[in-house]
Amino acid sequence: MSRRDVGKRLALIGCGAMGTALGLRMLAQGWTLRVYNRSPERTRPLEAAGASAYRTPAEAASGADWVATVVTDSEALRGLLFSDGGIASAPALGRRLVDLGTHRPDRLADLGAESASRGWPLVEAPMTGSGAIPPSWL
């Protein structure tokens, strides 16, 4: 691994439309992509493009420099963070956790405080998108 590649390992948790578009873009930019989705079949397009799929969020997070979550709601995020095999059960070791979903501020603040108490400070960075993504953007 060259110095340019240091820090370019992303665990992408949530492979719906927005997560998949993000993952394809990261792969195109030379990132190593580790993916997890509650419905495993949703990872297949990313696997076909070069990503590695894992059985739990913790397994995906364990080999990454960055962990990005792209899920539909705060309860889904809570499960992915704190359930058995959740992100917070993996050693943090300087990894960065970024949530890209849109959540109620009070719920995300609670999740962020709990996550930080387990060694995983959470950065909120909600993204928006559209259903029509031109192939040239990927």
Cβ–Cβ < 8 Å for 61, 67: yes
Distance between the two ends of the chain, CA-based, in angstroms? 24
Q: Which residues form the domain of 80?
A: 12-129
Q: Does 2 map to a domain? A: no
Task: Tell whether the model's pLDDT for residue 1 goes beyond 60.
Answer: no
Alpha-carbon span 86 to 114, nearest angstrom:
13
Backbone phi, then psi, for 90, in 5-degree steps?
A: -90, 150
C-alpha distances in angstroms, 50 versus 32, 34, 38, 44, 117?
A: 8, 9, 19, 10, 34
Q: Does 1 map to a domain? A: no
Count of domains in the chain?
1
Q: Does 51 map to a domain? A: yes
Q: Does 3 map to a domain? A: no
pLDDT tens column, 51-68: 999 999 999 999 999 999
What's the whole-model pTM score?
Answer: 0.88
Task: Tell whether the model's pLDDT for residue 99 goes beyond 80.
Answer: yes
Q: Does 136 map to a domain? A: no
Alpha-carbon span 67 to 97, nearest angstrom:
5
Q: Does 137 map to a domain? A: no
Q: Does 70 map to a domain? A: yes
Pick the range with the lowest mean pLDDT from 4-18, 21-35, 93-107: 4-18
Segment (H or E) for 18? helix 17-28
Q: Does 26 map to a domain? A: yes
Please report, for the domain that includes residue 35, its CATH number: 3.40.50.720
